[in-house]
Amino acid sequence: MSLRERIGRRKWRRRLAASKTTDTAYRAGVGVVGSLLLVFGLVTIPLPGPGWLTVIAALFVLATEFTWAERLLEFTKRNVKRWTDWLGRQPVWVRVLVALATAAFVYGVIVVVLHFLGVPSWVPGWVPMWR
């Protein structure tokens, strides 16, 4: 049974669905909240932090009401599982290499962001990289 169907069977959701106005308002609210989360997640993907987690959470919110989001969430879950299974089968040196590449990418993003936005004043003892 799909997530949308499970939510739809809940008593509170059936009560909302009984009135076309409240049902439409609820679906619009879910769409707005999910879309804002999705945009925020997509913007924060290259930054250190929970970018992908936010995208997946947004898809989860949207999947409670929209079939396209449910299909996209299932696709994402399948491919993340394939990636983690593949990585788990690799020798330790490959996993370490992937971890180092990820760390280097995150470090590069931090340096670029700090270069363009400036270093916050609360960072103690910062020596600028560029003069």
Digit-coded pLDDT (tens) for 48-76: 778 889 999 999 999 999 999 999 999 99
Residues 80 and 104 in one domain: no
Nearest Cα to Cα of residue 34 among 70, 10, 8: 70
Residue 89 has pLDDT above 90, yes or no: yes
pLDDT for 10-24, tens place per residue?
888 888 888 889 889
User: Is 27:65 a contact under the CB 8 Å cutoff?
Assistant: yes
Residues 70 and 108 in one domain: no
Residues 85 and 59 in one domain: yes
Nearest Cα to Cα of residue 66 among 27, 19, 14: 27
pLDDT at 71 (0 to 100): 93
Residues 48 and 101 in one domain: no
Domain that holds residue 55: 3-89
Residues 118 and 130 in one domain: yes
Residue 129 has pLDDT above 70, yes or no: no
pTM above 0.95, yes or no: no
pLDDT at 40 (0 to 100): 92
Residues 127 and 69 in one domain: no
The count of structural domains within the chain is 2
Tokens coding 16: 């909302």
Residues 114 and 78 in one domain: no
Residue 131 has pLDDT above 60, yes or no: no
Tokens coding 126: 């910062």
Residues 80 and 114 in one domain: no
Residues 64 and 100 in one domain: no
Distance in angstroms (rounded) separating the CA atoms of residues 41 and 101: 21
Residues 77 and 102 in one domain: no
Residues 12 and 39 in one domain: yes
